[in-house]
Structure 1
Amino acid sequence: MSSYQGGRGGRGRGGGGGRQYDYQGRGGGQYDNQGRGGANSNWRGPPPHHAGAGGQGASYAGRGSRGQYQQNPNPRAQYPHPRGPQGSYMGSSSGGCGPQQMYAQPGSGPQYQYPDLNPRPPQQPGWVQRGHSPQTIRAMSSQYHAPIQQQQETHRPYIGTVPDLHQANQPRPSAPISQAIAVCGGVATQEQGEAGLEGKMSELTLQQEMPLPPVSTKAYKFPRRPGKGTRGQKVFVRANHFLVQLPGNALHHYDVTIKPLVTSRGTNRAVMRALVNAYQHSNLGGRLPVYDGRKSLYTAGPLPFESQRFEVTLSDEDSSKYRRERGFTVEIKHVGSADVSHLQMFLAGLQPDAPQDAIQALDIVLREMPSSSNGIVPVGRSFFSDSFGRYKLGEGLESWSGFYQSLRPTQMGLSLNIDISSTAFIESVMVTEFVSKLVGKDLNNIHLTDADILKIRKNLKGVKVEVTHRGNMRRRYRISGLTALPTRDLTFPCDEQGTMKKVVDYFREVYSHNIRYVKLPCLDVGNNSRKPNYLPMEVCKIVKGQRYRKKLNENQTTNLLKATCQKPVDREKSILNTVRDNKYKEDIFVTEFGLTVSDQPTMIEARLLPPPLLKYNDTGAEQECTPRFGSWNMKDKKLVNGGQVNFWYCISFSPQVGGNDAGWFCKKLGDMCRVSGMEFKANPILPPISAQRDRLEEVLKSRYQEAVSALSRLGKLPDLLIVVLPNNNGNLYSDLKRICETDIDLVTQCCLTKNVMKASPQYLANVALKINVKVGGRNTVLADAIRRRVPIVSRKPTIIFGADVTHPPPGEDTNPSIAAVVASLDWPEIATYAGTFRPQAHRQEIISQLGEMVKEHLRSFRKKTNLEPQQIIFYRDGVSEGQFQQVLQHEITAIKTACKQLSDSYSPTITFIVVQKRHHTRLFPTDNRFADRSGNVLPGTVVDTKICHPTEFDFYLCSHAGIQGTSRPAHYHVLCDDNGFNVDELQQLTYNLCYTYARCTRSVSIVPPAYYAHQIAFRARSYLDSGSDSGSFAPGSARSGEASSTVKQLPALKDNVKKVMFYC
């Protein structure tokens, strides 16, 4: 809606309005900076033609005889123009329809306004042409992007990169609407302009009824994408994203209140289905609404009321004559509407904030059909059914196959992300059969131990069952617990006088049922507020379709992975079959709301980044190495900085590995460490021994004291303890790590019996890598880091952080969440990371004590390097998109505050990047030349177009080679970037760091500092899970505005352990 025209001024005729945002006044859309006649866009034109009267809405306008070039908001530079005659009239025509009113007519002299990178709320309604798709809007904006950037670079001091065409900020209009009307096409004269204006006015499809998009309400704004990456070889991939065409009408939002209150979404949906079936063609005016199962209902058009109550009757699922009917009162009240045009503008990059109400409404539309289908169980954004496929997991569990779907705003428009998924369900069997599978025992002649009872109670609590002893009357109950007594000894009051009757007698007399498993406890299905209600296990069947929400054991997890593991080609076929089977074109709800879902995956031009050059020690035959396909080996190489292990000893807690066998293994391991470049003494300070696992703590402490005594004359302490563990060691590993790392102050290397017996060279080489970093060595570094050629990072001292928060598994309501932070200790190499952790409130994601941990790492960096880091790069794992604002507000503030607390003048620049792996985007190669042996995309495949955020700085990076199944790329989203990375620099840095992971000679799937933080958080979790009572309770730090909670404290790491990468 802007123009570049001048009125007739001086000796020259007024230049015609430039098409969109070009820099010309020739009456056409020439992308030059030279006007003819009185074109005020030309600073180099002949002197008599510099000044002229501006047309309506003109950007280069001047009513006076002296023009000036001025930046907005302050006149930083002025360019006086030679005096010319006063323009004779105001031009009545204007330039072409641009997507934004970017330039205005503020006063005398030709004034040029740069786009306001932080627009204030618009004071006037603007003009938006109805019906433009995001692609069309972006195409329109592409016509002005290039000249704006050229002009800014040429004539303005740098203040920041102009946003790319799909991410331009929405400026505020500076001129009244009456002066901002624009029509398409440049005009050269007043007569032509008037005719053009009259002819083109009919082309405007909107008047002032549609306002400009709302200004951003975010407390903090995320950096916009500084461009698109260019480094690397171009390759094509397919993504499991399917384009969704938007409807043209507004979506109406209604609040739903159901009484009596229902907590089950399934029941709420059933109530709403009954309401729609009864009233759709009467009270609802023929509308087919969609419902989220809680409080929100959406329609494609307005309902014929603002607020109305409905009476609904819902029948139980029981099909017998005993079926109960329940009545509900449903109140539907109009809340507002979600404007789809704002969503279109956001997708085109013309609006800063995503209109979440519209996205949420459309997401519910696409979820309505599967959510309403019989036999399909919705879980979050996924849908499961045993008809899709199931797989036995063991101990009474099975996995159900299903699909995940989520509507996402992307550069190409609205995208439906669809993936294959599986999760664990409880088998629908008799409770006695489930218990038998759970404890692994025959129930006929067994005695259940206390541990068995505890396991049964934990797994059955909250499970829904239906009774089988009452014929067709299949009443359902929820298990609240188990009885303390076995069924044969259980009695209950059977009348008002309190007469006690045995449960076995009652079932025989009333139901003619002789209870078989009298040694088992009964199920208590009573409400805690009422008297208990006992049911024998053998008359109860587990209701079908109940998801198992507790933590899977190791065997179940392995089986679930087997069930879900698919080669890329098979997974892509499954996804395409899912899209076909979902029949979105026939979906009545999708049709009602005017959506169209493509059945073709998105084709993307990706890039293949080159792998980094790795540096090894000069004493090896091969000093530098360029990995191929994300992998390399240690042949002919020496560790770049080999550590020293002078004092070590070994203990075996495995019955299969005695002292002699342990000594043989340690000799082979020591040989490999020396071959790799470490100094590893051949003889231990104490002979290897074998010990019983139930004497773990006693043996560890006594043996350590013996080692300290043996070294007392040298004034030294042990460097390393090598431990042999049984293959199935339960809590033994956790207990050992807790004792050694938080009590004894000794790093350990644990080896499983099966690996000790084989002692393969590959295994020994991998263990040597772990030992080296645990004793302070470095395995490899980036060659560019040594040569100070890493962009941004090498220019000044830089510290790289990684952070993660791990939460207790479902069902554990008292254990704390654990936050872990690691940070690099070396520069410019950036290969060694120290770690620390803190407990915090249960399931709290924001790191409450981040400031203290950051200060601790900054002090360590300065102590180690004698340098103060001037740049901070922070990789944050585990944050969902809905928490971005919160993380930005709390955690970046905590980092800055920590720096200020170290010194008032200390203010390093910060780049804060969120790392996400828990997403469902998958990339599939289109050409076998760019696929690895597993059929996955090659390591280094990066995507920053189409499926990425419309405006913000994010990208997908597959940095690892697939081994089995389908690789999941990591998603990196920049929330703050004071360091000014361009796209290529950040992508290449992140990819290169993935080759510096210390535990193996492979590139890894996420950047190592985030990976290390994840490992430390789980190590700290193991301290709690080890069953120790060393933890204490203390007031925890709750978030602002929340009540303080009691958080179980973790044992602290000892000083020597803390200095090295003990967690590897």
Structure 2
Amino acid sequence: MDVNICVLHSDYKVLKIDNRSEECCVDLIVRHTLTDENFVREGAQQEYLVNKRPSLGTQGRKIHVYTNFFEITSLPKANIYHYDLTITPDVPFLLTRKVFQIFEDSHSKKLKNTPLVFDGHKNIFSCKPLPLKDSATFDITLPEVDSRSILTKREPRTLKIRLKKIDEINMDELQRYLVGKAKRTPNVLNAITFVNALIKHQTLVNYVPSGRSFYTRNGRINLTGIAEAWQGYYQSARPTPGKMMINVDLTATAFCESGPLINIVVKLLEKRSTNDLRGGINERERNKLEKELKNYIIRVIHRKTNQFYRILKFTSLSAQQTKFYDADGDIIDVASYFQKSHKCLDYPYLPCVIAGEGIFLPMEVCEVIENQRYFRKLNDRQTAEIIKLTYQSPHSRAAKIMRGVEEIDYASEKMTQFNMIVSNKMATVKARILPTPTINYRYSSIVPEYGVWDLKDKKLATGAILTSWSILVFGTDNEHSVKRFVRELIDACSIAGMNIPNKSPPILHANAQGNVEENLKKAWLRAGHAANSKPQLIICVLPNTSSQLYGTIKYVGDTIVGVVTQCIQSRYLLEASNQYYSNVCLKINAKLGGVNSFLTLRQNPFLNEKASILMGADVTHPGVSDDYYSVAALCASVDSGASRYAASIRMQHMPRIEIISDLTNMVKDALKVFYQTCGRKPERILFYRDGVSEYQFKQVLEEEIRAIKSACHSLEQEYSPTITFVIVQKRHHARFFPIDRIDSDRTGNCLPGTLIETEVVHPVEFDFYLQSQAGLQGTCRPTHYHVLYDENNFTSDSLQTLSYNLCYTYARCTRAVSIVPSVYYAHLACKRGRFHLRDDNFKESSSSSSTGKITLSTVEPKLQNVMYFI
């Protein structure tokens, strides 16, 4: 996908206050860490041993591609001076930029007109020392607050600005780090932070910033509800071999619609006009308004000067029924008070905004201010709309990125003052297109073209036997269409090599709002009685895309009944294509223990030279309004060819913690299953880890590798397989564009197998970008593989080729996927684990939010070693 949708996590207090994205929170934490004296003093502890890059790979056809990186051709040579900025009293984040501007304008002479760079948080940088000792305090007067400021009650307002010298940054050390002659010290990290602050400085003034991105109101598009999609640009300075580069990319996120609150209420409640509100609003509508509008900032328009408030609640009574004590101590209703003090209300029958203790504001005097991020979770429709907006062909995306670079203006006066020069041309980098692997079936093999192939005239490598099964239809679909679908599915599965002796499974019908557990148990019993054997599969026909019904089916099937379930949408009963039947066949065969396809020994030497196990791990976190814990999953191969996998799912000990808390036991379970299946102990472990950001590398390296080793030693004290630990990143902004038409597919994307390991990668560590998938629409996002730890002594060729070849073994489809299957499966298992979360007060018929202790239900033992989760 081309979209980067930022979602706020309300559990982080800094996000509640500053209304910024999680990425911005991370950015803020990192930047503040850099200013911490303890961090600087204990800098040696920040250097951690990551696997260095071996010699470059040679396999594949050599080409060149464009990339959205722009070279910094000249860095400041002189030292940079780093200061900490403190504003007293505290001001909201959105106001700090204005405060800095006023400070710079008011005290430039005292500071000898020294050019300053502000990162928008706490850090100020200058190209020469400021005329102060260790610290100095300045007074500024804040004029009437503009629309971007919030929660200020007195204007004008006097603030104190304190500057404290933190460090003197040696830029020469950064240069030596880029060529591998210096370590990653706090000084190097501070130098990179300065470069990021410098390129970001100008956009802080002219645009709406969020983390490392900035957005503009131009070209915004309304989404469903009160959300608006804004397009913007991401920019980040990245250290690469021998030079610094700036990564610039398109991005998009949702903002809240601004304007009169009453108009927004009309839209939220799906009314035609304000006239439809004359009857007031009911309790359900009031709850909806509170859920959608809580914590947004409003300005009041009935006073001469702007005052800003945060929406906390809405009154249960109308303005003419809501009463309070006035200045004279008399009880008066809000409508009467406004008629007496300001104006007669046009909508006295509507509730008021509660903006604080005893602060009641009629809706009609409130406006939602501009530039506020939409921090509710986007629904499916909104997500689809914003994704549709951001789909850009590679050619279009590259052109828009170039226009963005012109808008940013890296040749600005501020850049010149710091002697930094940035190329305005996209970097051209070396790449290789890896050879396509051969996919093997029972009696045939195929070399896919452009990363895609089909199942026609091929037999599954190992077809499963399906004897005992049933069909459970949720809804009123007619018997004839259901039977026709089942017949054609049986034909497709049989042609593909599955053995289905029972061609007339029982068909049951159920109410979609009924008791799912009871209905699944009935289907299970009918399947067993009809075949006189243990039920293997229940196919569930769903009337719609309701995630609640789907989730309940998976929860009951996985944890209570203990049977594999396969859900299909009822619309496919009449319009299913051959490709659809093939895809369902692939899923069913894998879920029942079959093998769809495999790689030859020659294409998979790592797994075949010694007993080796592949593992993939991921952690999924709750959304903004969810109150359950994060879920971690580990998927590990259970056969020598890494065609079948088993999942281990755990609830994290704390919410939104990325480090896997019970990894030792999860790895231990995986090693046991491999031994039980293969009869051998793995001598090598290749561990792919998804979802880890760069600032977490050190912690992951220390804690998760320790957990893997601990799992091995707990089985046998002397058992110590060699480990390779690879971070897999999809949430990044590197994009690659083919130069020659011969190197592109029909969508204009780079060909599957395009690999980049020079020029825009880490200066010394072992990482590479691999685009393994075929383009569907938009611009393909390559996967970034970063090797943190390697006891298996992989060469660049061996790990790159293995990772690419594995992307052709994903069991759910006949196309290469974007990440190695072990990680893909872990992601699916995490999503499945979220359906297994229940609390003490859970009732299937209840739609209320959870109030009890949340636990993760255990998957039935009969399913734990099969791929029920795909």
The reply to whether TM is greater than 0.5 is yes
The one-character-per-residue Cα deviations of 1:731-763 (angstroms, maximum 9, x if unpaired) are 111111111111111111111122222021111
Aligned to 1:802: 616
Whole-angstrom CA distance in 2 between matches of 1:866 and 1:1047: 40
Match for residue 722 of structure 1? 539
Given candidates 713, 730, 752, the residue that maps to 1:900 is 713
Q: Secondary structure of the equivalent of 2:166?
A: strand
Q: Counterpart of 1:833 in structure 2: which amino acid?
A: Y
CA distance in structure 1 between the aligned counterparts of 2:391 and 2:170, rounded to whole angstroms: 41
Residues 1:958 and 2:771 aligned together: yes
Q: 1:483, 1:522 within 8 Å by CA — same for their partners in 2?
A: yes
Kindly provide the CA deviation profile for residues 143-177 of structure 1, in whole angstroms up to 9, marking residues without a partner as x.
Answer: xxxxxxxxxxxxxxxxxxxxxxxxxxxxxxxxxxx
Which residue does 1:1058 correspond to in 2? 864
Say whether 1:837 aligns with 2:658: no
Q: 2:578 aligns with which of 741, 750, 761?
A: 761
Of the candidates 491, 502, 512, which is equivalent to residue 671 of structure 1? 491
Partners of 2:452 and 2:281 in 1: CA distance: 51
User: Relative to 1, partners in 2 of residues 1:453 and 1:660: Cα closer, same or farther, differing over 3 Å?
Assistant: farther
Preserved CA contact (<8 Å) 2:48 2:698:
yes
Shift of 1:664: 2.0
| Structure 1 residue 484 displacement after superposition | 2.7
Would the aligned equivalents of 1:318 and 1:473 in 2 still touch at CA under 8 Å? no
Find the counterpart in structure 2 of residue 333 from structure 1: 164
In the alignment, what sits opposite 2:104? 276
Q: Which residue of 1 aligns with 2:138?
A: 310
d(CA) in 2 for partners of 1:958, 1:691: 45
Measured after TM superposition, the shift of residue 646 of structure 1 is: 0.7
Alignment deviations for residues 550-607 of structure 1 (CA, whole Å, 9 cap, x no partner): 210010001001111110000000001111122211x232122111111011101100
Query: Which of 43, 59, 67 pairs up with 1:231?
Result: 59
Question: In 1, distance between residues paired with 2:540 and 2:561?
Answer: 15
Paired position in structure 1 for 2:803: 990
Match of 2:204 in 1: 371
**Unmatched runs of 5 consecutive residues or more in structure 1:** 1-213, 1032-1045
Q: How many residues align?
A: 810
- The 5-angstrom pairing of residues 601-1000 of structure 1 reads 601-618=426-443, 623-655=444-476, 657-710=477-530, 714=532, 716-783=533-600, 787=601, 790-812=604-626, 814-827=627-640, 829-840=641-652, 841-1000=654-813
Q: How far apart are 1:496 and its partner, in Å?
A: 5.0
Residue 1049 of structure 1: SS of its match in structure 2? strand
- Write 1 or 2 for the structure with the bigger share of strand: 2
Change (3 A) 1:692 1:505: same
Q: Does the CA-based 8 Å contact 1:276-1:288 persist in structure 2?
A: no
Structure 1 equivalent of residue 388 of structure 2: 562
**C-alpha distance 452-1015 of structure 1, shift in aligned 2 (>3 A):** farther
Gap regions ≥5 residues in structure 2? 1-41, 845-851
TM-superposed deviation, 1:947 = 0.3
Task: Tell me by how many angstroms 1:983 deviates.
Answer: 0.2
| CA pair 1008-450 structure 1, distance change in 2 beyond 3 A | farther
Three-state SS of the structure 1 residue aligned to 2:775 is: coil
Offset of residue 853 of structure 1: 0.3
How far is the alpha carbon of 1:454 from its aligned partner? Answer: 3.1
For the pair shown, the structure with the greater C-alpha radius of gyration is 1
Deviations 1:969-1017 (A, max 9, x none): 0000000000000000000000000000111101001111111111111
Alignment of 1:420-431 (within 5 A): 420-431=250-261
Could you list the per-position Cα deviations for residues 297-355 of structure 1 after superposition, in whole angstroms to 9, with x for gaps in the alignment?
Answer: 111111111221101111232599x9711111111111221111110001011123261
8 Å Cα contact 1:402/1:420 also seen in 2: yes
- CA distance in structure 2 between the partners assigned to 1:653 and 1:446 by the alignment: 39
Identify the match of residue 264 of structure 2 among 418, 431, 434. Answer: 434
The aligned residue for residue 142 of structure 1 is none
1:7-38 superposed Cα distances (whole Å, 9 cap, x missing partner): xxxxxxxxxxxxxxxxxxxxxxxxxxxxxxxx
Mapped partners of 2:839, 2:264: distance in 1: 28
Partner letter of residue 468 of structure 2?
A: F
- Deviation per CA, 1:370-416, whole angstroms, max 9, x where unpaired? 0122xx211110000112x2111111111111100000000141000
Q: How does 1:240-639 map to 2 (within 5 A)?
A: 240-244=68-72, 245-262=74-91, 264-280=92-108, 282-306=109-133, 307-317=135-145, 324-353=155-184, 355-373=188-206, 376-387=207-218, 389-442=219-272, 443-444=276-277, 450-470=283-303, 472-497=304-329, 499-516=330-347, 518=349, 520-526=350-356, 531-585=357-411, 587-618=412-443, 623-639=444-460
Q: CA deviation at 1:522?
A: 2.1
Instruction: Read off the aligned partner of 1:259 and give its amino acid letter.
Output: T
Distance 1:911 1:449 in 2: 60
Deviations 1:257-313 (A, max 9, x none): 211123x22222222211111111x22122121122333211111111122110111
Amino acid at match of 2:571: K
- Give the 3 Å change call, closer, same or farther, for CA 521–660 of structure 1 in structure 2: farther
**Would the alpha carbon gap of residues 1028 and 598 (structure 1) be closer, same or farther in structure 2, given more than 3 Å must change?**
farther
Percent of residue pairs identical: 39
Q: Which amino acid aligns with 2:651?
A: P
Distance in 1 (alpha carbons) for counterparts of 2:445 and 2:278 = 67
| Letter paired with 1:958 | Q
Check conservation: 1:215, 1:352, Cα contact below 8 A: no
CA deviations over 1:530-554 (Å, ceiling 9, x no partner): x231122232111111011221001
Change (3 A) 1:822 1:449: farther
For residues 491-549 of structure 1, the C-alpha deviation after alignment (integer angstroms, 9 at most, x for no partner) is 2222453x32222222233222324262x4321111xxxx2311222321111110112
Q: 1:384 to 1:952 in 2, by over 3 A?
A: same
Distance 1:226 1:318 in 2: 55
AA partner of residue 160 (structure 2): T
Question: Secondary structure of 2:733's match?
Answer: coil
Report the residue type matching 1:595 in the other structure: M
Which residue does 2:35 correspond to in 1?
none
Higher deviation after alignment, 669-678 or 941-950: 669-678
Normalised to the residue count of structure 1, the TM-score between the two structures is 0.74
Residues 708 and 646 of structure 1: CA distance in aligned 2, closer, same or farther (over 3 Å): closer
Greater displacement, 837-846 / 679-688: 679-688
CA distance in 1, matches of 2:371, 2:712: 52
What secondary structure is seen at the aligned counterpart in 1 of 2:702?
helix
Structure 1 residues 937-984: Cα deviation after superposition (integer angstroms, max 9, x where no partner) = 000000000001110000000000111000010000000000000000
1:615 maps to amino acid = N
Residue by residue over 1:744-787, the C-alpha shift from the partner in whole angstroms, topping out at 9 and shown as x without a partner, is 1111111112222202111111111111111111111112xxx3
